[in-house]
Structure formats: structure tokens, C-alpha cells
Amino acid sequence: MMNPLKTIFSELRSKTIKILISGNPPSNATYVGTSKCLLCHKPYETERKTLHKLGIRAAGKDSKLQDSSDFPELDNGLKKLEAGMKFYFYNFDKTRGFDKYMVSEKLPSDPASASFTATFFKDSNGKLKFKTENLKDPSDPARTYTIDLTYGGGLYKQRYLFKAGKNYFPFLQFNTMGDDSFGDRTRKPWRDYHADWLYNEETRKLTDPPKKKSFEAECASCHYTGYTLKQAGDEYIAGAVNDPNGELDIDGDGIPNELNIGCEVCHGPGSEHVKAPIAKRAVTIVSPGKLSPERSSIICGQCHSRPLGVTNNEQPINKDYKMMLPGMSRNEFLLNYTSREDAGEKDYWPDGIHSKAHHQQYTDFIKSKKYRNGNQLLSCADCHNPHGMTGFKHQMRADVRDDKNSLCATCHKENSDIKKHMQAKIGFAEKGKINCIDCHATKTMQTGAGFGKGLTGKDGKNYWMNDITSHIFDVPRKDNIGVKAAEPGKAMPIPYTNKCGMCHKADGL
């Protein structure tokens, strides 16, 4: 019997077949905005509900490119501020990072430790503002700022962006899962976020934030579509693509800008694609699904790896203040868009493997056994749908909490029987319901307050559960260097604090 594959290959031999593909966007392409993309690609309007599109919002309002209906608690922090709140900033500690002050809604027991207050209120036009007042020098004039934008709120935290001069600056963090009973300042409902930019402890005077520390210069490149940056004197001015349905007009030209991750961040600038004839449209835009897994994943990885760009902060921009374009290799990204390979030492637990700081999922993933697994290279999009069309949390492509462990079983069918798998690996099986992610998706990274306390063992140590999943996908244990001998309250989270320890004695795991 003739082999059909051999017949096909023999017929193709010596024939020229033209295949139009795209590895990089055209060099002359410019950004057009997501609204123009959706005119033809209506099925992808689902991206309006993704957190990539909901990151930055006009305070309390969705733009026409946003739909926050799946996140009813998104503005819980904002609503508290709009109702009127006063915060005391006290116990300044210059050794800490962005939260050098402790925050309280009441005057601290040692009034002398308080430096200033911030009082939030709505003005007669309904605009949310806050006023800073100097507690150490009442003669120092108060300062008032307007909150125009919010950052986050859909999951874990929300920050508030106010304008000073030409730029925006983030101030104060609301932790969705925070609780005042938690002793750790990072896990309370309200956490300082760069209040040190508004008060000078040396002069004991209120001050405006440093111009070079603006949101536009420090953060915006990983949020704006069509990000641009230019220096204007002693400050940086950022831009984003004009879109009539964008969140806010940040450049003063009368047209709103797209301040969140849109189609063109992953597919490249679309001007040439929009005007190309049908036969040439495919070659004028990047399709990440047709890139190699390495090139597809670095699109996500540029912002989920804590790089260090030309402005010496975590914006992955090159000498021309530009973000990488989709289709680029990781090697080119490392050469031109960051001065270090992924995160810094302080951003990992003591084992130097598991990420401690948030937005490092790509950093973990490319070290994992999943990425390069002996059969194939995986990409971020193998588990996550960038367009959010699935209805599952975190844009997962299948359910991770059903009885079939559907997403994991896509590749790991042999381990779909979890109890059998546990018996083989650790000698006992969980009696109750358990899923793959209970052990293999340990939340080692923290962005908000985390999910609270785990169990306390005989040694008196407590292991907190954080809120961002390690993408190493291993099962850290008590003998891990990130856990063993760690100071109480500062050890890396391990799986038994989440699941196993609820039924099994924590000390034996």
C-alpha cells in the first residue's frame, strides 16, 4: 500500500509555494488605536473585560474600550475615598522602599511621630481631591491635588493618580484583602505609596513630587498603547495613541488617549494593516500565535520580568525611549531594552529561584520545566487567552478548579487522577477535593495584602499566603532555603499553608 504522506511530499518537490506570514510589523507602520481594530475584529471585543484593559481608568468610570462588569469590587477603595477620609502618615523609615510611612485613619499613639495628613474629599464639581497638611509645621501652606485616574482595583490593590505639573503620580494603595488586624504594614487595608514624595523629612516641609519620578517616566510604558517619551527640561512627557474611545486626553490635543494594553501592543502598529488589500493584510500585522514560543512569550515577558531600561527604572525602553515591537527575539530585547537579565537579587526569595516581587511571571516561567519540557516550547498563550474569551479567571484557557483539572490535563492526562498522583509522589492522598494548582501554583509573590495567614507549626513560625502565583510550578517544601531558618513571617509561602495543612499536620510536611 502506498504511503499517502510520501505521495504528498513527492508532489510538492521542486514546487514553489508562496506563503505570506509576518514576523515583524512594517517599519513605516504607526499606531491607530484599538477602536479601529475592533471595527473589523468584533469577536475580540471581549478584551474590554480583561484586566489588561482595566488597569488605568478615569476615576470611577469605564471608557468605551472598558467593561468592568466582571469586577464589581473594582472601586471599593475609591468609593471609600470619595466618601471622605483622612490619613496620618507617621513613623518614617528611610530604609524601606515605596512605603516609608505607616498609615492610619487615627492620630497615632505617639503624635510626634506623625509628619503630615492627607484628607480626601469631593469638591463642588464632584472631582475627587486630597489636601496635604503639615503636622510638624502648621505654618507650612497646605497643598491640594486632584485624582484623575486610578490604577488597578480588579484584583488585590488599587492606587490613585494625581496630577502635579504636566505629569501624573501614584499615591496611596488600597489592599482589597487587607485587614487592620494584620501586624504587617504591607497587609493592612491602606498602605503608603511614596508619601515621601510629598513631604521632606529633612526640611519638615510639604513638597511636590519629583518630576522625574512620574507615572509616565516610571510605569506607563507597560500600560499605554503606542507609548512615547520625550524629555522636556527636567521632566519626561509621555504619550499614547489617540483613540476617540480612550480613557483620558493626556497630551492636550483634544482627543482621548489609549492608556491601557490594546491590540497593537501584541500585534504591532496597525496603520499599514488597516489600509492593505485583503491579500496583503496578513503580512502587515504580527500574529503572536504564528511566532515561535520564545518570540511570542517575550511580548508578555518584556513587562512581566522586571527589566531595567535606559531610564534606569523598570520601564523596558531603548535609547530612543521606545518599547520593543512584537516579533522580536528575547536576545534582541536583552541587548537593547534592558541592562539586566530579568529581576534583581532582592526580587527573589533566598533560594534565588522563586520570585518574591510581583510582575515576574515570565521570569519564573522560562526557568520552569513547563517552558522547555522535552517535547516542545510552551508560550504564555498556551494557558492564558490574551483576548479573555474563555470566562475563566486570569483568562485561563480552561478550568483549573473542576473535577477534571481540565487545563492541566491538556498536557498532563497521566496525572488527571490527583489522588493517585499524590499517593505516588508523597505516599498519601488528600481525602477532600484538591486540584493541581493547590500544590503547583504556590503564591510566592505579593502585590496586595495576600490571602492571609497559613498555619503555624510547632516552631511558632507562620507562613503567609501571598497573591501572585509562582510560575516555576514546583512544590516548595519546608527544607527549601527560602523557608528553612527564615525569620518568622518572612519565609516563602509553601503549599501546605494553603491546602495540605488544612487536613495534615503542618510539621510533618
Q: Which residue has the cell 471585543?
A: 45
> Could you tell me if residue 398 is inside a domain?
no
| Average pLDDT along the chain | 91
CA pair distance 384, 266, nearest whole angstrom? 14
- Residue 456: per-residue pLDDT: 62
Q: What's residue 487's pLDDT?
A: 75
Find the domain containing 133 and state its range: 76-209
Low-confidence ranges of the chain (pLDDT < 70): 1-12, 19-22, 454-463, 488-489, 498-499, 501-509
Q: Which three cell numbers stand for residue 298?
A: 517575550
Which residue among 209, 230, 247 closes a domain? 209
SS3 content of the chain, % helix, strand, coil (to 5): 25, 20, 55
Q: Per the domain annotation, does 438 fall within a domain?
A: yes
From 209, 236, 254, give the residue that closes a domain. Answer: 209
**For position 499, what pLDDT does the model report?**
66
Residue range 209-259, pLDDT digits in tens: 999 999 999 999 999 999 999 988 888 899 999 999 999 999 989 999 999
Is 460 a domain residue? yes
Question: Does residue 202 sit within a domain?
Answer: yes
**pLDDT reported for residue 76:** 97
Residue 53 within a domain: no
**Identity at 125, one-letter amino acid code:** N
Please name every residue paired with 121 in a beta bridge, in sequence order, or none if there are none. Answer: 129
Identify the pLDDT of residue 21: 58
Is 362 inside a domain boundary? no
CA distances to 200, 298, 342, 388, 469 from 301, in Å: 36, 4, 9, 18, 15
pTM of the model: 0.92
Question: Grid coordinates standing for 58?
Answer: 478615569
Contact 138, 115 (CB under 8 A): no
In a domain, 485, yes or no: yes
At 219, list the grid cell. Answer: 510605569
Q: Which residue has the cell 527544607?
A: 479
The reported pLDDT for the residue numbered 56 is 98
Instruction: Give the C-alpha separation, 501 to 454, whole Å.
Output: 8
Q: Give the count of domains, the chain.
A: 2
C-alpha span between 240 and 225 (Å, rounded)? 6
Residue where one domain finishes, among candidates 189, 209, 229:
209
Distance of alpha carbon 408 from alpha carbon 420, whole angstroms = 15
pLDDT in tens, 452-493: 776 666 666 666 789 999 999 999 888 898 888 877 667 888
Residue 295 placed within a domain: no
Where do we find the cell 510611612?
A: 101
Cα-only R_g, the chain:
25
